[in-house]
């Protein structure tokens, strides 16, 4: 995970609270690495769903969509010192099945 992220990464979630007001959750690169190491949100392999779609690529910039089991990520990636890294992410949680 750490190699895939630019050190200035910003990962954000916009959601509505119970009163209908928009709220913003921010994660830094280090917070994302730490939560990955701690296996926060990890699902058993039988429940995995993942699909990667490159939405656009131009020069040293790309927009990528990740369809995961419980969320969708929109990644902004750049080619940085010869390798692709993620600089921004906006994610949306999937509605929970009832």
> How much of the chain, in percent, has pLDDT values that exceed 90?
41
pLDDT for 74:
96
pTM for this predicted structure:
0.78
Q: How confident is the model at residue 88 (pLDDT cuts 50, 70, 90)?
A: very high
CATH 3.30.70.260 fits 2-41+48-93, yes or no: no
Question: Does the pLDDT of residue 24 top 80, yes or no?
Answer: yes
Q: Cβ distance 16 to 95 under 8 Å?
A: no
Mean pLDDT of 14-27: 89
Using one digit for the tens of pLDDT, what is the confidence trace for 29-48?
888 888 777 766 666 776 66
User: Domain locations in the chain?
Assistant: 2-41+48-93
pLDDT at 70: 82
Angstrom distance (rounded) from CA 10 to CA 1: 14
Residue 61 predicted with pLDDT over 90: yes
Q: Under 8 Å CB-to-CB from 91, ≥6 apart: which residues? A: 11, 12, 13, 71, 72, 73, 74
| pLDDT of amino acid 90 | 95
Core vs surface per residue 38-71: b (16+ CB within 10 A) or e = eeeeeeeeeeeeeeeeeeeeeeeebebeeebeee
């Amino acid at each position: 995970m750490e190699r895939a992220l630019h050190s200035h990464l910003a990962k954000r979630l916009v959601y509505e609270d119970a009163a209908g007001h928009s709220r913003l959750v921010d994660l830094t690169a280090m917070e994302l690495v730490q939560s990955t190491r701690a296996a926060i949100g990890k699902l058993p392999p039988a429940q995995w769903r993942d699909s990667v779609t490159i939405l656009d690529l131009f020069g040293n910039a790309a927009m990528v969509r990740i369809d995961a089991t419980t969320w969708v990520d929109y990644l902004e990636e750049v080619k940085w010192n010869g390798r692709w890294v993620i600089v921004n992410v906006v994610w949306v949680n999937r509605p929970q099945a009832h």
